[in-house]
Structure 1
């Protein structure tokens, strides 16, 4: 995992720098900086509007007594998209804008949910993943569990 992050933090800035130089040669410095500023402002506005929409979905889910897991995952994707859009760069902006498109975000949410469901184990008083298993005779809080 560390090596993947290291490669990400090395290659993304190098690619961004190459794109900056390539676009800067064609559009000149001021136009390139104007594009960067414009995408940052537009990205912040889109992130805010999409985030408020997801917050509204979260509130509706909780008000109706449902778990807001989809809204939470979408909020996480929007948070990452906003960070990418505020980061100066054309590649990060492209990925950030893609993540704000509802159809793309829905596919990302499904993929992330699928990934997380294989990585997270839910333990209930009835055993792993709930089900119709008989209740434990031993209490769940046996000093090996931290109740949060």
Structure 2
């Protein structure tokens, strides 16, 4: 824990050194614009995940299973790291998007394998044999097709 606290306290210094190095290579204005663009990408990623979570909650999945999916969690972490101004956090965010890095991190932490979406419960028939009941996540609306009765 003390190491983590030390790294967190050292992060602003590392970010300043990285910004000065990048600004020295490409110029101050371009470095500021690059950092602004990366932060906007991070906010867009977080917004996309939030929209995806809302849609999934409306259908059948809910927020809990959505949040526990390691792929989405790492995308959320990457989006958050991109949104925070600084090139060091951006590099860590890019690493969070690399599948091999995610797998190694999961093995290092000893976490469980990524969650897979649970299949929806099987459809059930009612007392009437011609009616099929479906949960909300098991159907979608389509254009109406005229019936041909024989």
Bin of the TM-score, shorter chain as denominator length: 0.5 to 0.7
Match of residue 43 from structure 1: 42
Query: TM (normalized to structure 2)?
Result: 0.54
CA separation in 1, counterparts of 2:104 and 2:57? 18
- Structure richer in helix, relative to its length: 1
Matched, 1:86 2:59: no
Paired residues of 1:85 and 1:92 also in contact (CA < 8 A): yes
- Structure with larger RCO (C-alpha < 8 A, sep 6+): 2
CA separation in 1, counterparts of 2:92 and 2:58? 28
CA separation in 1, counterparts of 2:45 and 2:101? 13
Paired residues of 1:23 and 1:32 also in contact (CA < 8 A): yes
Paired residues of 2:106 and 2:112 also in contact (CA < 8 A): no
Q: Which runs of 4+ in 1 moved over 4 A?
A: 50-61
Query: TM (normalized to structure 1)?
Result: 0.55
Residue segments in structure 1 that go unaligned for 5+ positions in a row: 118-148
Match of residue 110 from structure 2: 114
Task: Work out the number of aligned pairs and report it.
Answer: 111
Larger Rg: 2
